[in-house]
Structure 1
Amino acid sequence: MTVQGYDPRTGQPVGDPVESTSDDGVDAVCRAAAEAAGPWSARSAAERATMLNRVADALDDAADALIAVADTETALGRPRLTTELKRTTNQLRLFGEVLHEGSYVEATIDSPNPDIVPPRPDLRRMLQPLGPVGVFSASNFPFAFSVAGGDTASALAAGCPVVVKAHPSHPGTSQDTADVVANALRAAGAADGVFGIVHGVEAGKRLVRHPSIKAVGFTGSFSGGRALFELANSRPEPIPFYGELGSINPCVVLPDAAARRAGEIAAGYAQSLTMGVGQFCTNPGLLFAPPSLVDTLAEAVRGSSGGPMLAERIRDAYQSGVDSLGSSDLVELVATGAQPDGGWSATPRLFRVDADTFVANLEKLTEECFGPAGIVVTYDEPETLLDVLGRLNGTLTGSVHAEPIEHDLAGRVAERLRRIAGRLIYNAWPTGVAVAWAMHHGGPWPATTNPLHTSVGATSIRRWLIPVSYQSWPQELLPPELRDSNPLGIPRRRDGVLGSR
């Protein structure tokens, strides 16, 4: 079997089909990763940082060719893809900085103390790599959440070999990117097994089940992620599965903000809702606002336009979702954007529902409709708003638009949102996820399978590491990070005090 790429603008095949990876092929890639795990984890953090920078340089050098292929397979456009590829190489370089800084290993030293109860021996603890990991590429970010994306960068930085499962929506882009990454690592001196790629649905299942794989990262649909999550947990040796499964990203507009900045808020909302044809995990699918704002929101959405979606099945699922909403008596369609021509195109939609009806039909009206469709939930009283927010399920983000006079209410809204969202946003929209040390891109179920961890930012490296304590070991046998001399000069906690000793 093969995996064929398609041009979303026309629905026609593009590029040569890529062979699906056989069971034997998956086994070979995973065995190579297992063989490379020891040597790769034994490399110093500085060496791994250098190699990640080499990969980033190679991707930058190949940018024109990679972007050209990606545009034909995704229809995301060269400007967007250029920015995304730069984000991808910046992620790799960020993890080089993480490795040099060193606090990611959480080095901790407790001096021996025979006089306390119970007596304490010499204890030294740090995080060390899990082993080979599987990474599933996302459809909506062919670079930044794909073959060389954040999961791959963080896992390689942690000292874990990576086997990527390519996304079927962009097989050519995936294979070309994988070739650049593999060649750059090989030229820098890494073993071939440090990085590999497989194609095909069955190859993905076998990857999750393979005994050499010790953890999996996934960004995609709820149904696909849930199936793989259960597969990872049903293995003879269950493994961590870090899945990002979908999000409705509630946004709240408070009354004074709606009255004073109606046009600004509506324009920002429409732009965020339709960005990338709504194909962002942080798309603002649910908006809470006073009834007075609805007409202005509808006008902004009517002035927006859609475009081709990434895959035919994604377009069909979107169309099914908006058709289901439109045919129900639960919501009112208040705006339709401009309809694009041809291919797998989608048209923006905005629906309206009052808070009481929303609460009575919570499960149906909080299903993610992946694409440029939103529901505005109208409320009259702040207490009603707070009650509704307390009923929502886990999500990646929660946003509040408020005026200074509303800070008390904004704080109460934030208190509700922090229980369900991994990132709280003030007077801005959720689309756009900065790659930074303080970023958290995660949230309670069903947004992710583990709200403790992030898939974006410096601390995403934590997913691929496990703690190991050394008790009473001689200095020369300890990892450099735990020796008294601290030869790497990294931040450490010693006898309860965090510093650089």
Structure 2
Amino acid sequence: MILTGEMLIGFSALRGTGGDKRAFNPATNSDIAEPVFGMGGSEEVERAVSLAAQAFDVYRHVTLAKRAAFIEAIAENILKLGDELIERAHAETGLPVPRLQGERARTVGQLRLFAKVVRDGHFLGSTIDHAQPERQPLPRVDLRLAKMPLGPVAVFGASNFPLAFSVAGGDTASALAAGAPVIVKAHGAHLGTSALVGRAIQRAVKEQDLPEGVFSLLFGAGRNVGEALVGHPQIKAVGFTGSRQGGLALVRIANARPEPIPVYAEMSSINPVFLFPGALASRAEAIGRAFADSLTMGAGQFCTNPGLVVAIDGPDLDRFIGAAGNALTTKPAQTMLTPGIFDAYCEGTRTVAKVPDVTRVAQGEPAGKRQNSAQAALYVTDAQRLLTSTELEAEMFGPASVVIRARDFDELLKVAEHVEGQLTITLQIDAADHADARRLLPVLERKAGRILVNGFPTGVEVCHAMVHGGPFPSTSNSMFTSVGATAIDRFLRPVCYQDLPDALLPDVLKEANPLGLWRLVDGEFITPTQAVGCVDGLQFATKQRTMNLPI
């Protein structure tokens, strides 16, 4: 596919007039010559949002089968891009080819997951409470609830995942699954990659004969395009993955609107790892080596990177630090995504190193002549220093971490109470640690969206049970996840229909249940069991049975 440097607004490809920009190769520290991308402005935002608003009512009413087929078509079109997509992403990010191949598989997998979610229809939350005209002292009216999409959604591509958290990433996939048109602002670090994936989505919209405003892709230098998108009255929600500064800026814009809207911003997390005495006594060296592998994976450019380690001081903790440090010294410096991210990482490590009573105990191999390449680092200090030094709680976003020595378990608890909200918190425990872990868990449940045991947080499974979210500042809204099937809930709201005639009800709430969905009817879950009808070429059921499930 020939890259033209044009934005995609509906079915059109347009060159922005807000200035020119070339993509950048961080490994060579140089521009990529072709193409030159035209940046957009307020005029392109207005056109894209107008098309999205026009498409909204049509798109949200297409059948679930057609919506699912559209999402699957996006996945297939991404695969059809073949090596061209991987090669372009590699050039723009410096990420290894195997990593990008895995990320493409994850991107396709989460699209297919959301296609299944759409077909299942459970996300609609179909609920019926039949009228009770004979009820005393007052009769009950007929009430029916289903969820509908909020409206057009603005998605900001992330720097660290050019595929899985970008143009066709989790925010886009879940919003499209909810029935919401999407306008993506491409990240400036991977313009060509974004354009290729954008073409794949645009083609799927055409193939499925959907309104052109279902998807648009904008380029923008600086903040103008992003601020215009979030501030536009027709945009009803925002998906963002990036820095705390960037996420909070979007939240402020959204809250200042005449009609405030939700911003689902994944921002800052240092993902503490708590090492318990029993685990350290039995396997300190193995934990240390595995920790070093997790810390340096992808040059540490994961939102779940383990940036803080907390343990009770003693010889076993020394064994962990020694093993982790020895492993880190053999880790090569790795190219970071952009010069800006590399500079921020270097500044972060310098800031930590200047904090009193902080000791750097290990470094990875030096970068040498490699451009924008991060050298891993491990620091050690005590709990009192952490409790009084905000610099140690800042996300370094790279392959660096700080080990905290606690005097005893009570001080470890103080550290747990002190840290900010996190995406993840990890426990390394053995059976002998269960009693202490039980004391710590109530604190961790208040602090994190995912608590894991005897693993490391890098690696976020895309499935129904995953939570990739957490209390502030890890996200701007701890009630939702940006990964997993329930990510769709961010872009839905409930609507209740009172005494609406059956002919006017959405199919999901009609008495005959033509879509054949599980529904909560008069307080009991009900599912069809006998196919007797046909809708859109698929057989559905009207005979029903109940099944006792927890609500």
- In the superposition, the TM-score normalised over structure 1's length comes to 0.98
Secondary structure of the residue aligned to 1:390 is: helix
Secondary structure of the residue aligned to 1:52 is: helix
Corresponding position: 1:191 with 2:211: yes
Q: Larger relative CO (CA 8 A, sep 6+): 1 or 2?
A: 1
Deviation at 1:118, TM superposition (A): 5.2
Query: Superposed, which structure 2 residues align to 1:4-403 within 5 Å?
Result: 4-14=22-32, 15-114=34-133, 115-116=135-136, 119-200=139-220, 201-291=223-313, 292=318, 293-341=320-368, 342-361=370-389, 363-403=390-430
- Unmatched 5+ stretches in structure 1: none
Deviation at 1:17, TM superposition (A): 2.6
Secondary structure of the residue aligned to 1:273 is: helix
Decide whether the 8 Å contact of 1:198 with 1:204 is kept in 2.
no
Secondary structure of the residue aligned to 2:23 is: strand
Cα RMSD of the aligned pairs, angstroms, is 1.2
How many angstroms apart in 2 are the aligned matches of 1:188 and 1:475? 29
Q: Of the candidates 436, 440, 453, which is equivalent to residue 480 of structure 2? A: 453
Secondary structure of the residue aligned to 1:460 is: helix
Secondary structure of the residue aligned to 1:455 is: coil
How many angstroms apart in 2 are the aligned matches of 1:439 and 1:245? 18
Secondary structure of the residue aligned to 1:91 is: helix
Aligned partner letter, 1:146: S
How many angstroms apart in 2 are the aligned matches of 1:424 and 1:277? 23
How many angstroms apart in 2 are the aligned matches of 1:118 and 1:301? 72
2:21 maps to what in 1? 3
2:510 maps to what in 1? 483
Larger mean Cα displacement after TM superposition, 210-219 or 324-333: 324-333
Decide whether the 8 Å contact of 1:8 with 1:343 is kept in 2.
yes
How many angstroms apart in 2 are the aligned matches of 1:357 and 1:210? 45
Deviation at 1:148, TM superposition (A): 0.4
Secondary structure of the residue aligned to 1:430 is: coil
How many angstroms apart in 1 are the aligned matches of 2:408 and 2:132? 60
How many angstroms apart in 2 are the aligned matches of 1:45 and 1:359? 52
Aligned partner letter, 2:453: Y
How many angstroms apart in 1 are the aligned matches of 2:524 and 2:280? 48
How many angstroms apart in 2 are the aligned matches of 1:199 and 1:57? 24
Aligned partner letter, 1:346: A
Deviation at 1:300, TM superposition (A): 2.1
Deviation at 1:116, TM superposition (A): 4.6
Decide whether the 8 Å contact of 2:312 with 2:409 is kept in 1.
no
2:541 maps to what in 1? none
Secondary structure of the residue aligned to 2:418 is: coil
Q: Deviations over 1:253-291 (max 9, x none)?
A: 101111211121011111111111000000000111244
Aligned partner letter, 2:25: D
The structure-2 alpha-carbon separation of the partners of 1:68 and 1:109, relative to structure 1 and needing over 3 Å to count, comes to same
Q: Of the candidates 456, 460, 482, which is equivalent to residue 433 of structure 1? A: 460
How many angstroms apart in 2 are the aligned matches of 1:68 and 1:102? 37
Larger mean Cα displacement after TM superposition, 193-202 or 117-126: 117-126
How many angstroms apart in 2 are the aligned matches of 1:356 and 1:17? 52
Q: Deviations over 1:77-132 (max 9, x none)?
A: 11000010111011111011101111101111111124256542100001001111
Q: Deviations over 1:326-354 (max 9, x none)?
A: 12214111111112242111111111011
List 4+ stretches of structure 1 deviating above 3 A: 116-119
Decide whether the 8 Å contact of 2:349 with 2:396 is kept in 1.
yes
Secondary structure of the residue aligned to 1:469 is: strand
How many angstroms apart in 1 are the aligned matches of 2:472 and 2:357? 25
Q: Deviations over 1:191-211 (max 9, x none)?
A: 211000111131111111111
Decide whether the 8 Å contact of 2:311 with 2:412 is kept in 1.
no
Secondary structure of the residue aligned to 1:419 is: helix
- In the superposition, the TM-score normalised over structure 2's length comes to 0.89
How many angstroms apart in 2 are the aligned matches of 1:300 and 1:136? 36
